[in-house]
Structure 1
Amino acid sequence: MDPIVLGVSGASGTTLATRTAEALAEHADVYTVVTDGAKSVMDHETDARSHTIDRLETVSESVYDEDDFGAAIASGTFRTAGMVIVPCSMNTLAKLATGLSDSLLTRAADVTFKEDRPLVVVPRESPLGEIHLENMQTVAGRGATVVPPVLGFYYDPEDLDDVVDHVVGKILDRFGLSYDGFERWSPD
C-alpha cells in the first residue's frame, strides 16, 4: 500500500492522533506532520510532549514540522494513499476550505485534493457554528470525508479507550483498512 499522510493540528485530541498513527502503521508507511498548535495542545493533554512525539516518531517513517516545505509530502509526485488530519482544528479546516497552503500540513492537504486522493478530516470542536458547518460542507463538496469523533453507544464502551478505538476504526475504514479495536454494528 502507498504511504498515508497524517496531519496533527492544534485541536484537542492528541490521543486520537497517536492511536491513529499506530493503527495506520500496521498497514502502511506513515508520514506525519505536527503543527506548532498541536505541540502546544500536547503540552496540556499528555504527560510530556516529547513522549507523544516519540510515539509518533516510532510508528512514522518521518515526522515533520509545519514549516518544512521541502518535505516529500509537499509534492504531488510523492505517491500516497491519501491523508488524514486528526485532530483537525477549525483554523485548519478553514484553510482547507479556502485553499490556503501556509504550512506543510495545509500544503499536503492541498496536494491530496489536487491529486484526487482520499482526504479524511476529523474536526474537533463543539458546539459547531455556522462557519464551521459551512467549511465542513465545502471540504466535503471537494471530496474530503468529514469524520467527527462522535460518541457511539451501540458497542457498549467500557472506557475512553473504547471510544477512541471506535473513532480510529471509522478513520481507517475510510481507507479500506481493518482495525481490531473497531466494533461494527450487529443487531444480533
Structure 2
Amino acid sequence: MSGPERVTLAMTGASGAQYGLRLLDCLIQEEREVHFMISKAAHLVMATETDVTLPPKPQAMQAFLTEYCGAAAGQIRVFGQSDWMAPPASGSSAPAAMVVCPCSTGTLSAIATGACNNLIERAADVAIKERRTLILVPRESPFSSIHLENMLKLSNLGVTILPAAPGFYHQPQTVDDLIDFVVARILNTLNIPQDMLPRWGEHHLVSDE
C-alpha cells in the first residue's frame, strides 16, 4: 500500500463541501482509515451546497458516513471539536497525514498562529510540530494580503497549500470532473493511487520529429 494508512480529514466552513465528501469517498475506496472532523460552519455549508445532511452527534455521524461511503466497520472515526482525547490531538498517536478540505481562511489563520482552539486546529498544529504531511485546501476569491501571508508562513513550515482551483487541460465535461481534478491532486500529494486524472504526460505520444 502506497501512501499513509490513516488520514485525518477535516472539513471547515469554506465553500466546496463537495471536495471534502469526494475525498472521503476516495480514501475509503482506497481502504484507508479516516479520522474525520467537521466544524459547525462546514455543517451549514454542506447543507447549503449538497443534499447531504449530517447528524450533529459524532457517533450518529460516524454511522451515517460509514453507510454513505460503504466503509467497513471502524474505517471512519468521527471526533467532536472538543474531544481532546482523540488520536489527532497528540503527536504520539496522530495519523501520518492530515487534509483540511475545504479550508476556510479563518481556519487557515488559526493554524498559522497556532491557536489550537478546537480539535481541528490542534490536529493541524500536531502535524506541523511533528513534521508530518499537512495539506490545506483553501477556497476563497480574491485572496487578501492577510490570507497570502498566512499561506506563505505555513508553506515555509512545510505545509502544502493546495487551492481548490481545478484545471481544464483534461477537458472536463461535468462539475464532478472539476471536483475530481482537485481531489486527484490531493491524492497525488498523499501518494495514494487514483484513476480520476492522468498524470501529466502519461498519454503523450512521442512524435518522430
- Shorter-chain TM-score range: over 0.9
**1:144 positional shift:** 0.4
CA distance in 2, matches of 1:148, 1:20: 14
How do residues 49-64 of structure 1 correspond to structure 2 at under 5 angstroms?
49-50=53-54, 53=61, 54-55=64-65, 58=69, 59=71, 60-64=75-79
Deviation larger for 168-177 or 66-75: 66-75
The root-mean-square deviation of aligned C-alpha atoms, in Å, is 1.7
**1:64 positional shift:** 1.6
Quickly say closer, same or farther: Cα 1:55–1:61, change in 2 above 3 A: closer
Aligned residue pair count? 187
TM-score, scaled to structure 2: 0.84
Quickly say closer, same or farther: Cα 1:92–1:56, change in 2 above 3 A: farther
Please list the CA deviations of residues 121-178 of structure 1 after superposition, one character each: whole Å capped at 9, or x if unmatched.
Answer: 0001011111011111111111100000112111000111111111001001111111
> Secondary structure in 1 aligned to 2:54?
helix
1:133 counterpart residue number: 148
Question: Runs of 5+ in structure 1 lacking a partner?
Answer: none
1:99 aligned onto 2:103: no
1:144 counterpart residue number: 159
**Contact preservation (8 Å) 2:87, 2:94:** no
Please list the CA deviations of residues 15-73 of structure 1 after superposition, one character each: whole Å capped at 9, or x if unmatched.
Answer: 1001111112214211011111111111211224238x533674452112222222121
TM-score, scaled to structure 1: 0.93
Query: What is the aligned-residue identity percentage?
Result: 39
How do residues 6-155 of structure 1 correspond to structure 2 at under 5 angstroms?
6-25=9-28, 26-50=30-54, 53=61, 54-55=64-65, 58=69, 59=71, 60-155=75-170
Pick from 2, 18, 22 the counterpart of residue 5 of structure 2. 2
**Contact preservation (8 Å) 1:56, 1:63:** no
**Contact preservation (8 Å) 1:84, 1:120:** yes
Please list the CA deviations of residues 83-139 of structure 1 after superposition, one character each: whole Å capped at 9, or x if unmatched.
Answer: 000000000000111111001000000111111100000001011111011111111
